[in-house]
Amino acid sequence: MLDILLIRALIAMVLIAVVSATIGSFSVFRGSTFFVSGIAHGALAGASLGIFISLNFFGVDPLLIALLFSVFFAVIIGYASHRSENVDIAIGVMFAFSMSIAVLFLSMIREYASVAWGLIIGDVLLLTASDMILLSVSVVTVVILFFVFYRRLLFVIFDPESAEALGLHVLRYETLLFVLIAVGVVALLKCVGAILVYALLIVPAASSRRLFGSVEGTIAGAFIISLISGLGGVYLSIYLNVAPSALAGLIAAIIYSISLFR
């Protein structure tokens, strides 16, 4: 049983590295890294609602509700930021709203709060078969859409005025990017928790951009750094008996600190 859990954890870390290389890199390019934290807490609010529904009405996967919440927030933030031209304000408002929802439903399921706590801190060594399926489907979906719209997303991120002048619907592609980030965040939620999603999604990409600079180099480097951080965290956790996500986050942060001296 331990071998199966370890294999799942290793596969999950590879998939997380793929998400970090694609979605994490584009979040850094877009300058929407704060958006990742906002969506992570939005996913936590959705998961809390899902747990509440499961306990009082009918069985439902909390992660499914978390995904719906996150995508909804991504669409709202995309529209609001386009209207107000300040994405941080839109993210801050949705962040406050989602945390209010999360605290509300967590206070209503106090005796089962440990279930929600598992989504706050995560544990890649406790992934079930259904968790792996959800993670795999989410990552495959993100990768397919990423490569289909790769050039258009880059154009919209780096030169939105020219993209709009050439007929590209900037709001549509920015919203697509936000939705992809939301899907990626929910995919990581059960593995590393809402608190450390930022560490494995953004920090490797930020380190890679400092080390390599180019778009392709940043994407490839983010995959390698995230993979090193994730696999290193799993390996060390076996001997130190601590949370692998915490160790992975520390390794990623150390690599970023080293990149500052380049």
| pLDDT tens per residue across span 196-244 | 788 888 899 999 988 887 888 989 999 999 999 989 988 888 888 888 8
pLDDT score of 251: 92
Domains in the chain: how many in total?
Answer: 1
pLDDT score of 24: 86
Q: What angle do CA 79, 175, 37 make, to 5 degrees?
A: 90
pLDDT score of 36: 79
pLDDT score of 225: 93
Mean pLDDT of the chain: 82
Mean of the pLDDT values across residues 138-149?
89
Q: What is the DSSP string of 113-177?
A: HHHHHHHHH--GGG--HHHHHHHHHHHHHHHHHHHHSHHHHHHHHH-HHHHHHTT--HHHHHHHH
Q: Please say if the pLDDT value at position 16 is more than 80.
A: yes
Q: Please say if the pLDDT value at position 84 is more than 60.
A: no
pLDDT score of 215: 84
> pLDDT band for position 94 (50/70/90)?
confident
Mean of the pLDDT values across residues 163-179?
81
Mean of the pLDDT values across residues 143-155?
87
pLDDT score of 116: 66
With residue 56 as reference, give the H or E element that holds it. helix 33-56
pLDDT score of 255: 92
Determine the Cα–Cα distance for residues 188 and 194; give it in Å rounded to an integer.
Answer: 8
Mean of the pLDDT values across residues 164-171?
78
Residue with tokens 């809402």: 194
Q: What CATH number should be reported for the domain holding residue 33?
A: 1.10.3470.10
Lowest-pLDDT choice from 26-40, 74-88, 142-156, 246-260 = 74-88
pLDDT score of 82: 67
For residues 2 and 156, is the Cβ–Cβ distance under 8 A? no
C-alpha 60 chain-centroid distance: 22
pTM reported for the whole predicted model = 0.84
Identity of the amino acid at 255: I
Range of the domain at 183: 2-259
Long-range contacts of 163-170 (CB under 8 A, 24+ apart): 170/82
